[in-house]
Amino acid sequence: MRKSAYLFSAGLIGAFFVLPLSIRAAQAPRSSWQAEWDKAVEGAKKEGRVVVSVPASAEVRKGLEEGFKKRFGLEVETVAGRGAAVVRKIVEESRAGVRYFDLHIGGSESIVTGFLPENILQPVEPWLILPEVKEAKNWWGGHIWVDNARRYVYSCFAYQTVTLWHNSDLMKAEEVRSFDDFLNPKLKGKIGWLDPRTPGSGASMWTYLMHIKGEEYLKRLAGQKLALSRDQRVLAEILAKGKVALVAGLTYYSLSPFLKAGLPVKPLPTPREGLYASGGSGHLTIMKNPPHANGTKVFVNWLLSKEGQEIFSKAIGQGTRRLDVDTKWLQEFGVLAAKDGLTLEQYYRLENQSEEKVHRLREPGAALARKLLD
**pLDDT mean by block of 10 residues, the chain; 374 residues:** 43 41 42 93 97 94 97 96 92 96 96 97 98 98 98 97 91 95 96 94 93 96 96 94 95 85 91 93 97 98 98 95 97 90 96 94 94 94
User: What is the predicted pLDDT for the residue at 155?
Assistant: 98
The domain locations on the chain are 43-158+279-337, 160-278+366-373
C-beta of residue 309 within 8 angstroms of C-beta of residue 215: no
Give the model's pLDDT for residue 157: 98
Count of CB atoms situated within 10 Å of the CB of 199:
27
- The predicted pLDDT at position 29 comes to 53
Could you check whether 43-158+279-337 and 160-278+366-373 share the same CATH topology?
Answer: yes
Query: Residue 362 class from Cβ within 10 Å (0-12 exposed, 13-18 middle, 19+ buried)?
Result: buried
Regarding the domain delimited by 43-158+279-337, which CATH topology (the fold level of the hierarchy) does it fall under? D-Maltodextrin-Binding Protein; domain 2 (3.40.190)
Count CB neighbours of 332 within 10 A.
10
pLDDT value of position 1: 43
Q: Which of 127, 130, 67, 132 is nearest to 102 (CA)?
A: 127
Please give the pLDDT value at position 24. 38
User: How much is the pTM?
Assistant: 0.84
Q: Residue 106 has what pLDDT?
A: 96
The CATH architecture of the domain made up of 160-278+366-373 is: 3-Layer(aba) Sandwich (3.40)
- How far, in Å, CA of 80 to CA of 188, rounded? 33
Q: What is the pLDDT of residue 30?
A: 56
pLDDT at 6: 41
Residue 256: predicted pLDDT: 83
Residue 301: what pLDDT?
A: 98
